[in-house]
A and B are shown apart, each in its own frame.
Chain A
Amino acid sequence: MSIHHHLSSLYLAQSDSLISFDVEGLVDQFWSNTVDGLAQGSIYALVALGYTLVYGVLKLINFAHSEVFIYGAYATWFTFYALGFRPGPTAELAIFELVGFLLLALLAAVLVSGATAVVLERVAYRPLRNRGAPRLVFLITAIGASFVLQQLIFIWRGGNPEQAIRLLRPEPVFEIFGASVTNITIVIVLASILLWLVADTFVNRTRFGRGIRAVAQDPDTATLMGVNKERVIMMTFLIGGLLAGAAALFYMMKIPQGAAYQGGFLLGIKAFTAAVLGGIGNLRGALLGGLLLGLMENYGQSLFGGEWRDVVAFVLLVLILMFRPTGILGESLGKARV
């Protein structure tokens, strides 16, 4: 089997090759990688929405958003813990209990993440805004805030990830082209798309969303027209935080070991990449970018091998930015459109 495998793979050099192209692997595992990539990509997309919204309104890359996310993951873990679950084998629960507990965890996660985002805005960014600090200062502050939030967890909980607590075991529900789709994947993908839809509708169809778009387009004119800019900004951070909280719950369902103090960092970078990929400042771009990144990571990994996982994501980003500097769908939160 392995000999056959090697023969049909095209190697750049002999046995010690750095890069090898495992075309057969890509084809064999295409559908399972697609399914898993979509699940991971949905999580990227939800986190990416937070980057995109804040960027759209403030032209600020909120690097601390990854910590807003990981605070949600901790909230999930502590909710499970408070409900009496302990690390170890997956609990057996009746369906209504399960749904109830997960909703409770969702509530805790969105509240914690939302609150973190709002507090972050109040403490770190608003004072700077009031003094008219240059944009670079915001960027440095964002990075600093990210470290502070990380280290707070480190001091409190130490360097080990929280030991996994899991309420729902992934079970295959149906198959597409031989790839099994688990209950968790279904929940994550559907819920993420639903949440994205809600966020998109909120921004594009409601009165408050119009406020967000107005501030994004021209903050000063919007203020003159009676839009409360500070409230819009707070609301933007809040929505981003709520979505990150939901993403955190899904992430913890998928990866129960996920609550680690640095656990948000890499995922945050990926989500930011997804936002830029789709077109930062563009809600649809965040969804597209997230899903695309999740898929490409998995395809790339099975084609080039696991060590190239992160490289694939960023090479993809560079390639797309070369041809479309504003991302696939362009920056649009600030553009007037229906």
Chain B
Amino acid sequence: MSRARFGRVVLLAATASLVLGACAARTEDGGGDDQGSQPQASAPAQAANAADPAGDGNAQCDAGTKLAYAGTINGANAALGQNILNGVKVAIERHNSNNPNCQVELQEFETEGTPDRAPGIVTQIVNTQDIIGVVGLPFSGESKAAGNIFDDAGLVQLTPSATNPALSENGWKTFFRGLGNDNTQGPAAAQFITEELGAQTVCVVRDDSEYGIGLANSITEGLGDKASCQEEVKTKQTDFSAVVNSIKGENPDAIFFSGYYQEAAPFAQQLFDAGVEAQFVGPDGVKDDEFVKGAGDAAEGVYFTCPCVPADQFTEFNEGYEKQSGGKAPGTYSPEGYDLATILLKGIDSGVKDRAGMLEFVKNYEGQGLTKSFKWNEKGELAESTVWTYKVENGQIVRNTEIKPQG
């Protein structure tokens, strides 16, 4: 541990104890559960130089220029895909209404979010010659299964949410990740759970997806000897009694569910019903209103970690989104979807006409978006990424704090 890092840890510990002291003073029974009451961090304001798909309004492009969204729309964990798709649509709509001489068409492809469906759909996409850039695929499993097809066709693929670290290690020239991967989220989540929530023993429960396994490994490593137990569940499992019983036996301080909301909702409820009092923490794959509604009584007070930025302050985007989604507020990765679509649109506006040109454009792109500044390294990873925590309060997901990595 470097001296600087040690200093920061001490400072953090001091701050934490102050905050805890304040909590204990406020609440009669200041028990362990109140440790998370860090003040809510304010949401980032929209950067003045954030890329705007509207541009200067004079863009020229061929009629029939197409971009595509590929991912779950109605399939498994559909809400996560719809959040992104609507974000993409906001960007396209804003671009087209401001640029009469450049009307970009968005094609939507339903992969159902599964590794077995995605390759077929992606083949269909790369065979549609007019498509010169793609926002997708949202999930890690399907990305792993179909990434080489994009690569073979030289078609740029900007993923707004697939966070499995290994995806960028395949040598795909066309893969670009629009957010931090789980090598960032895992340690950040570990830091949040052990320091901010003060958990000494943490049970890591993972599903059998590419994403769930990768993230579980990464957080388990980050937790070190505080990872007191590991459990596995299956995709589409609904009865978790055996896992719940075994966690009850372990009696951890916190539980991290490394998977998606479809399994997390019944799982959290069954834990709650069994009287397990450990703090439930889920990652980006769980952070959705579908989880809050699905978990019923168990949702209140659940924390999420997510390499996604709260959209609260992106007023203009939020208005556009609500118009696009029929009144729904932006969800997880909606602004990320918007940012990535904006980058592709900027490419078209700058005169890019084909896939090779788009690939070159994205590779060399450097610019500020709503969520962060974008510049990719040769593997398609961003230099800069952020992880936020969120919390369920009164049945709503609200932002909590940004996790600032140490050392």
Interface positions of A (Cβ within 8 A of B): 1-2, 5, 25, 28-29, 32-33, 36-37, 39-40, 87-90, 154, 158-161, 163-164, 166, 169-170, 182, 254-258, 260, 262-263, 265-267, 297-298, 301-302, 305-307, 309-310
Expressed in whole angstroms, the minimum distance between the Cβ of B314 and any Cβ of chain A is 25
Contact B242 A301 (CB under 8 A): yes
CB-nearest residue of chain A relative to B73? A159
Knowing that A163-B293, A306-B231 touch, tell me 7 more A-B residue pairs with CB under 8 angstroms: A5-B229, A29-B248, A40-B241, A159-B76, A161-B265, A161-B294, A302-B245
- Are B234 and A309 neighbours in the complex by a CB distance under 8 Å? yes
Interface of B is mostly: helix
CB pair A306–B228 under 8 Å, yes or no, is no
B239 in contact with A159 (CB, 8 Å) = no
> Which of A25, A37, A258 has the most chain B CB atoms inside 10 A of its CB?
A25
Tell me, in angstroms, the Cα distance from A74 to B41 when the chains sit together: 41
CB pair B296 A88 closer than 8 Å: yes
B78 and A36 contacting across the interface, CB-CB below 8 Å: no
Which residue in chain A gives the minimum CB-CB distance to B72? A159
CB distance from B289 to the nearest CB of A (A): 9
Pick the most buried of A39, A254, A267: most chain B CB atoms within 10 A of its CB.
A254
Given contacts A36-B241, A255-B266, A307-B232, contact A160 B296 (CB under 8 A): no
In the complex, the answer to whether B208 meets A160 with C-beta atoms within 8 Å is: no
Complex Cα distance, B242 from A25, in Å, reads 10
The answer to whether B78 and A302 touch across the interface, beta carbons within 8 angstroms, is no
**Within the complex, which residue of A32, A163, A297, A310 is in contact with B294, where a contact is CB–CB below 8 Å?**
A163
Q: How far is the CA of A28 from the CA of B238 in the complex (A)?
A: 23
Q: In the assembly, what is the distance between CA of A123 and CA of B351, in Å?
A: 57
Tell me if B231 and A257 are in contact (CB < 8 A): no
Bound-state CA distance A291–B57 (Å) is: 68
- Given A154-B74, A159-B75, A255-B266, check contact A169 B273 (CB 8 Å): yes
Seen from chain B, the residues whose Cβ lies within 8 Å of a Cβ on chain A are: 72, 74-79, 112, 201, 208, 228-229, 231-234, 236-239, 241-246, 248-250, 262, 265-266, 269-270, 273, 290, 293-297, 395
Cα distance, A260 to B239, chains bound together (Å):
14
Question: A256 and B296: CB pair below 8 A?
Answer: yes
* Complex CA distance for A90 and B74, rounded to whole angstroms: 27
> In the bound complex, what is the Cα–Cα distance between A25 and B203 (angstroms)?
15
Report whether A33 and B245 are in contact in the complex, using a CB–CB cutoff of 8 Å.
yes
A298 to chain B, nearest CB (A): 4
Q: Provide a sorted-by-A list of 16 A–B residue pairs whose CB atoms are within 8 angstroms.
A: A1-B228, A25-B249, A29-B246, A36-B244, A87-B293, A159-B74, A163-B293, A163-B294, A255-B266, A255-B270, A257-B294, A305-B232, A306-B231, A306-B234, A306-B243, A307-B232
User: What CA separation (Å) do A1 and B229 show in the bound complex?
Assistant: 10
Contact of A258 among B75, B232, B238 (CB under 8 A): B238
